[in-house]
Structures are given as C-alpha cells and as structure tokens.
A and B are shown apart, each in its own frame.
Chain A
C-alpha cells in the first residue's frame, strides 16, 4: 500500500467512494429488470421509456428538474447533520412546517401590499426558522439529553405534520377551500415565478446554491472541518475543546432550515397555499438522496436529478406500459437497499489489500 504511486492513490480516492453506488446501481437495474419482467413487461422497453421520460426532451428535462429541486433541499436535511455523525430522518416534518410557517409569515405582508420580494424574504426566513428549529431540537436533545436523534427527529416530524394538518383545517383554514382544506392562497403577484427561459421555478436555483454553500461550509471552512472531526470522533473533539453541543445545534439547524426553505418554495411556487399536499414525501425521498450521495453536499445534485428523473418518468410508464405509479417506489426501494448492502461489501482498496495479504 505504501509503495503505491501517488497518482494511483488519487485515482483510488475518487473511485473508492463511487464503487459501491455504481455496483448498487447495476444490481438495481438487474433486480428491477427481473421484477418488471415478472410483471410481463420488457425491461429494456421500461428502461428506454424511463430514459425518454426523464431526459428525452427539453420538456422531460424540465419535469425532471422540477421534481429534483425539493430533493436538493430535503437531501441536505439528512446530509448536513451526517457530517457530524448524526442520522436525521425528520426532513418531511421540517419541509411541512417550513411551508406552513412561510405562508403564515407571508400572508400579512401580502395583505399589506408589500412588494413581492419582501413577501418572499419574510416567507423564506420564517420557513427556514421553523424547519431549522424543528431539526435543531433533535440536535440539542441529542447533545444535552442523550436522546437518539433519529428517533426524535422522526417523532418531531410526525408532530410537525399533525400541527400542519390541524392548523390548515382549523385556525388558518380558508373558508372558501371546501374539499381540500387549505390556507388562504398567496396573491398571484407574490408567487415565485420560473427561471428565465424555463418552466422550472426559482427553487431549483436556490436548491443548487444551498448545496454549493453546504459544500463550501463543510469542506472549505474551519467550522466544517471541526464539524467533521466531531463526526469522526466526538470524544476527541470534546477533548480538543470544540463546542460540540453548539455545533450540533447549528448543523442540525442548517439542515432543517434547508428543508424548511424547500417547504417555503413548495408553498410559494407550486401550491400557492399550504395544504395537506405539502406532505407528499419529499422529506422521505431526501433521506434516500442523501444516502445515495453518501452524504456529500455536491453529490446530492446529480443524485437528486437522477431520482427526479425516475419520478418524472412514471407518467410515461403508466401511459405506455400500464405500470402502476408505485413501480417508481419499488425501484427507489431496491436502489436504497442495494446501496446499503453495497456499503457493507469491501471497498476496492480493502479488497486489494485483502487479496495481497
């Protein structure tokens, strides 16, 4: 190992983390292919249609990006705390409560006739604060009370979704929303519009910026370095005098803020109001995105686009092959399971070391 030339070592450094996801991807293609063949479909045709539905035309590309943009932000909700060794799965709740807080903060400004960008800033701050507070609670409980952050974030998320449903059906319900309880909608002028020349809203740009900022913070600042030390060995970090608790609250808070911003965008760009539809599973998919990206903030971008593409293609699969929409969930499930199983297999350099022993 020591004698390895530096260039090959550098190559191994890039290839090593890719090996497991690529192997998982191949295994998934094979297993899901078998699955659809059992259902009487030609797997090659399924994959061809998926590619066409996801990336075949400008129209499908836009659909893919549209579905990828919330995943960029909910993925960060799991990936940022993961830098400190925390497994957070409450992104769904942060997304939902962020959306609710955003509309609650935005409506008064909109009613007062404030310019659209003021409404958006108010909504963004409220959404990020609510989502951040939710997930930061899990971080704080972990540090100061020793409560497992995975379970607490899950519980907090369920509570947040219940609070959203309660408020949307109760205090903030628009009497005009009869069949689908919703809050009052934002005026059309205050809806977030599309990126120039595209049918994709500005949420995509915000998501991309958030991923890049998260990467800069974690890989290019002293704070991020310290956070990753905590993730590696929290006892050593404490010995070194790092304020572990404060850092956990900040990083989990940032993760929750990302998901909360996602909820704000869902309300201000897609739904126009807050209703039960904002709990559509973006938070759950975000967990998958983060794990597939191996918790790397920049890797979230291609993974979110890939998963967005898979979900964008389900319309075509339903129309052409009569495959139920749940097929996409099955595919995601197989991919996630295969990826985790792949993590357990020896990496390339480990395998080589074992062989040469």
Chain B
C-alpha cells in the first residue's frame, strides 16, 4: 500500500497517531494540574517544570541507560519545583499566579543552563506498543505505535477520577479546594494539603516533560516545548476540572496540533500556526461562555483564585 491508494484517509490516520503522540504530555501535565487546582491553587509554572523534566529525564536516561529512570528523575525534579511553588505560596500575601510565572522563568533558565551539554548526545528512548499489528497498512501501523506513557496515562485517568470522588484523600483535596475554612475546622491544614497537591502536579508535569525528550521528538533541545505546560493549564479549565474530560481534551488538543503536519503531508500547508492556536481559542470561548460576572465557572474549585 502506498500514500496514493489511501487517498485522503492518510489525514485522519496521521491525525490519530499524532493526537496520541502530541496529547501525552498534555495528559500528564493536565492531570497533575487538575489535582493542584482541585486543592485551590493554580501553578502556572508548569511550563518551567515540564522543560526541567524534559532536560533532567533526558540527562538521567543518558547517564544510566534506562529511560524509565529518566522518567522517575523527571518526576522527582517536578516534585521539587512543586514544593518550591507551594512553599512560597504558603507565605501570606503571595500571589500564586505570580509565583508560577517566576518559576516558569526559573525552570526554563535552569533547564537551558544545565542542558547545554545534553544537546548533542543520544539517550535511550521509551518503548512503544505496536497496537497496529493487525493491519498491513504501514500508515495504520505507524499511527497505532502507542507509546508506553500514553498507556500509563490512559490507565491512570479513571483511577484518578475514582480516587478524587471516592477516597479519603480525594475528599480532603476537594474540601480544601472548595473551602479552606471548612478544612481547617475539621483539622486539616490547607497549606499542607496544597503542598502535596502541588508536588503531585509537579511530578506529573515532570513526567510529561520527560515524554518530550525520551519519546517524541526524543532528544533534548531548547526549542523542545512549544508551550505544552501553559496549554495544559488552560486545558484543565477547558475540561472543567474533570479527569475524564481532561483525557478527551488532551486528545482533542493533541489532534489539533497533529492536524497541521498531517495536512502538510498531503500538500495543504497554510494555516498550521492557526491550527496550533485553535486550543487556546477554544479554551477562551469556553471561559467566555461558562463564566459570568455574577457566578463562578461551573465546576470550579471554590478557593481557586483564577475563577473567583
């Protein structure tokens, strides 16, 4: 089979494969940010965390030869950034949004600085499952070459959704996010709960970053992230703080990102940038239509500064 015999089918097949690939970092960063926001805090610094994760994951995988150790290291670096964000935010009068921007600049700078020697070498990449084995069409096989982290995220999404709704921890996080007064009255410290929730968000963002350097594109460079960390923050709002919707939104955002290159392959070259910006536009529309000057965005945690 070749391109010609597939005709226009090459576009949706490529978009599917691309959506799975492009959505993976979105999925991880947004699930992490979702938990952070559920606890009543927003971490805009995840772009920095993501890039730090990409750099450190690549570095550790290169040095140890194990991509999974790289993923773990990226997550731990993310935890450190999350802890730093939470620690500063726990001081009085500190604006979580501003701290996020500061940590974004810091994380990007630090990753570029420490990552200078990593631009050349090759690190082992993460494995992928050939779920397209049943097809003899190379494009389908390529599209269904599903990376391991996506599958981890796929399994983790319903677990997180269930845990937030049903477990003691999920309840505490949501309570802190909806009313820190109530949480305090029941003897839970909002600052500590937010610390854990922000660290979890950092971990996930770090892992999401390691995907970029260890699977696709699979190398470390300074232009690695095209703002996935920032987009994921918007994505959580787009998904209205629902993990299952985060999964769908990640695929949608990933598909939008994959549509440009897929169209390019069949000769349509215009509009790539606008397609990449479509998720931002959609998120803005969602915000405009779901907010009102009198009530907060439906589904938003009560303590979250950005929806007050």
- CB within 8 Å of A: which of B241-269? none
A166 and B274 form a contact (CB under 8 A): yes
**A330 within 8 Å of B (CB atoms):** yes
**B294 within 8 Å of A (CB atoms):** yes
Chain B's closest residue to A325 (CB) is: B112
Q: For the complex, give the distance between the alpha carbons of A156 and B95 in Å.
A: 21
Q: Please classify the interface of chain B as helix (H, G, I), strand (E, B), loop, or mixed, using the class held by over half of its residues.
A: helix
**A344 within 8 Å of B (CB atoms):** yes
Q: For the complex, give the distance between the alpha carbons of A151 and B99 in Å.
A: 14
**A332 within 8 Å of B (CB atoms):** yes
Q: A150-B306, A162-B277, A330-B109 are in contact. Are A344 and B284 (CB under 8 A)?
A: no
B110 and A330 form a contact (CB under 8 A): yes
B284 and A330 form a contact (CB under 8 A): no
A324 and B112 form a contact (CB under 8 A): yes
Return 6 A-B CB contacts under 8 Å, by A number: A155-B283, A158-B231, A162-B273, A163-B273, A170-B270, A332-B109
Stretch at the interface among B7-15, B64-72, B85-93, B141-149: B85-93
Which A residues lie within 8 Å of B237 (CB)? 151
A337 and B284 form a contact (CB under 8 A): no
Which B residues lie within 8 Å of A345 (CB)? 91
B113 and A152 form a contact (CB under 8 A): no
Q: Which 4 A-B pairs have the closest CB atoms?
A: A344-B91, A333-B106, A329-B109, A162-B277
Q: What's the least CB distance linking B119 to chain A, in Å?
A: 11
**B163 within 8 Å of A (CB atoms):** no
A341 and B91 form a contact (CB under 8 A): yes
Please report the total number of A residues contacting B with Cβ < 8 Å: 47
**A22 within 8 Å of B (CB atoms):** no
A141 and B288 form a contact (CB under 8 A): yes
Q: What's the least CB distance linking B263 to chain A, in Å?
A: 14
Q: Please classify the interface of chain A as helix (H, G, I), strand (E, B), loop, or mixed, using the class held by over half of its residues.
A: helix
B105 and A332 form a contact (CB under 8 A): yes
Size bin of chain B's contact surface: 35 or more
Which B residues lie within 8 Å of A158 (CB)? 227, 230-231, 277, 280
**B208 within 8 Å of A (CB atoms):** no
Chain A's closest residue to B114 (CB) is: A326
Q: What's the least CB distance linking B296 to chain A, in Å?
A: 7
**B191 within 8 Å of A (CB atoms):** no
B98 and A87 form a contact (CB under 8 A): yes
**A174 within 8 Å of B (CB atoms):** no
Q: For the complex, give the distance between the alpha carbons of A148 and B111 in Å.
A: 30
Q: A162-B277, A330-B113, A344-B91 are in contact. Are A336 and B287 (CB under 8 A)?
A: no
- CB within 8 Å of A: which of B269-308? 270-274, 276-277, 280-281, 283-284, 287-288, 291-296, 305-308
Q: What's the least CB distance linking B265 to chain A, in Å?
A: 18
B284 and A155 form a contact (CB under 8 A): yes
Partner of B109, one of A141, A166, A333: A333
Q: For the complex, give the distance between the alpha carbons of A145 and B233 in Å.
A: 20
- CB within 8 Å of B: which of A211-259? none
Which B residues lie within 8 Å of A316 (CB)? none
**A154 within 8 Å of B (CB atoms):** yes
Which B residues lie within 8 Å of A89 (CB)? 97, 101
